[in-house]
Amino acid sequence: MARGAGERPLDPVRVFSFRLEIDGISEGQFRSVSGIETSAEIVEHSDGIDNNIIHKTCGRIKFGDITLEQGEVGSKTLWEKYKETVKGSPKRFSGSIVMCDADGTEVGRVNFFEGWISAWKGFNLVGGEGKSAVQEIKITHERLELA
């Protein structure tokens, strides 16, 4: 079947980078994101009538920590948020992981809620650029949704 002019070919969406947004403001661009996952606890029980049959029901829902790697950040916002964690009182925030194609156009989005920065790993300073590169940031959160 021929495709019309301007139609996207039938291939998977290619994602080249990820943008972290907090309160609608871009706080950094990252090359790798992992931990966008959720799972349901499986609770096994018998009904008391036929104890040879194990019934399974849904228990608590758990969300993975989001790990952003190889990033460039243009402000101290993320570091300031992490400093609150170090003080023992992390400030929670909601945000989005935005998937971008080669042109930087948004092709998908995952929103997270009640997040806080639980880990910060190293700096790599890039000469000649006005931005600092972050090796890894981990965001712990309570819920996520595909937008």
Instruction: Say how many domains are in the chain.
Output: 1
Q: What is the mean pLDDT of the chain?
A: 85
Of the pLDDT bands very low, low, confident and very high (cuts 50, 70, 90), residue 62 is: very high
Kindly report, residue by residue over 86-97, the tens digit of the pLDDT: 999 999 999 999
Greater confidence (7 vs 25) lies with 25
Residue 31's alpha-carbon distances to 35, 73, 91, 115, 121, in angstroms, are: 14, 12, 25, 20, 15
Q: Is residue 76 part of a domain?
A: yes
Q: Is residue 92 part of a domain?
A: yes
Alpha-carbon distance of 120 to 103, in angstroms, equals 28
Q: Is residue 3 part of a domain?
A: no
Q: Is residue 11 part of a domain?
A: no
Q: Is residue 42 part of a domain?
A: yes
Q: Where are the alpha helices (DSSP H) in the chain?
A: 77-86
Q: Say how many residues make up the chain.
A: 147
- Whole domain around residue 41: which residue ranges? 17-146
Q: Is residue 6 part of a domain?
A: no
> Would you give the DSSP letter of residue 83?
H
Q: How far apart are the first and last CA of the chain?
A: 31
CATH number for position 142: 2.30.110
pTM to 2 decimal places: 0.79
Look up residue 128 and give its two tokens.
Answer: 């000649």
